[in-house]
Amino acid sequence: MLALDGLRDRGGAAARAERTMGGRGGLANDCRALGRVPPDTAPCQGEVGAREGFSQSGTHPETLRAARCVVEVSALRRSKRAPRSGSGTDMAHLRNDRTVGGSTRGGCGIDWRREEIVPLWIPITVAAALFQNIRTTMQQKIRGLLSVDGANFVRYAYGAPLSLLALALLVLLTDRTVPLLSPRFVALVAIAGVAQIVATSLMIHAFALRNYAVGTVYSKTEILFVALFATFIAAEPLGALAWFGILVCLAGVAILSVRGNLRDVRSVLADLAHKGALYGLLSGVFFAIAAGTIREASKVLPDGDFLIRGITVLALMNTIQVVLMGAWLWYRDRPQLAKAAHTWRSSAWVGLFSVLGSACWALAMALENAALVRAVGQIELVFTFIASRLVLKERPSLGEWLGSLLLIGGVVLILIGR
């Protein structure tokens, strides 16, 4: 009896919603304009159950769908986000295709989309820059124990198992599945992994041949190369304001890398013919190749939201990198493999923050143009500037303040112009 009473109550509520749909001045039209009540949508399991449960009350499952729509459109009207007119043109601005991972709620053909105040890729990119800054700092601490290649190897050796674990947990704890890995996807990820290894080695060589400022400035030309890659290869062109923002970012990078000394900026830029500058430029090129191919690899995957695509890219790339770097050290400097194992207490932290940073980069690039992601990621230098002020108690110069403001201003211009 209680079950039958519950069915009658729910049937009565649905019937009232059905009557409301007919007499509320265009609410039904508003729902259809929003795409909430597709006329030819196949029923989901919930609707099949509703069809069976409400057959006694005579309420059609489509009425239940409409009832939910009444509540939503009414709420939109009260918040003045929806106009009174029920035309599809008036309601079109409420649609937002940039959902997180393109997912919807409800699963019954109802599009529960939301507008983002701040695009998700921006905080993810800022987190990536922060993790990368921490990883670089910790990696420098183990440089006294390991060679350049050894310190680079622990980043992948301790990061790869963590990325594979993250992928396994994502599959086991959610309803996600690993996407089909096509040969093209594997090739793109392999190119990205090799390019990242080469870029890091070239940047370290640039530091050794010249100085930190030259290596930093010319390696950060990566932003320009990624933008060119996105425009001419990936068919993701940038606007004029975004290009201008990239140039402003580069100016900020140049000033910060020489600790605000404007005379040193001129000398760095005038030293293009030096071997260190050449290595720095090549480093920027390979970093750009890595970023561009990571973005393309995430787009190649046939299905899955941005989370499973990004973690899949990361897990495969780190696995390829640890195999390649391990083989290289086995051939060139075998004792470094033993040292990497003996320093596991310090190296494991490098691997952890490395995989956190790489995961955020991969996720951000699965959501947005790689050029925009890498440009916003230059905020890492501002973190370095803040750390030197708060941790090392160094007093920043006027030039360093100027460089930070230029870098932040360039990021803002990029976001406005995107």
Contact between 195 and 217 under an 8 Å Cβ cutoff? The reply is no
- Name the token pair of 222: 């990566």
Residue 55 has pLDDT above 50, yes or no: no
How far is the C-alpha of 137 from the C-alpha of 287, rounded, in Å?
Answer: 19
Q: What angle is formed at CA 61 by the lines to CA 60 and CA 65, rounded to 5 degrees?
A: 125
For 278-318, what is each residue's pLDDT tens digit? 787 888 899 999 999 999 999 998 878 889 999 999 999 99
Q: What angle is formed at CA 280 by the lines to CA 268 and CA 131, rounded to 5 degrees?
A: 105
Which pLDDT belongs to residue 20?
A: 44
For 67-116, what is each residue's pLDDT tens digit? 454 445 455 444 444 444 444 334 333 333 434 444 443 334 434 344 45
Overall pTM > 0.75: no
Residue 168 has pLDDT above 70, yes or no: yes
- Percentage of the chain lying above the pLDDT 90 cut: 25
Closest by CA to 196, choosing from 236, 235, 156, is 156
Which pLDDT belongs to residue 261?
A: 60
How far is the C-alpha of 256 from the C-alpha of 269, rounded, in Å?
Answer: 14
Least confident of 54-68, 325-339, 379-393: 54-68
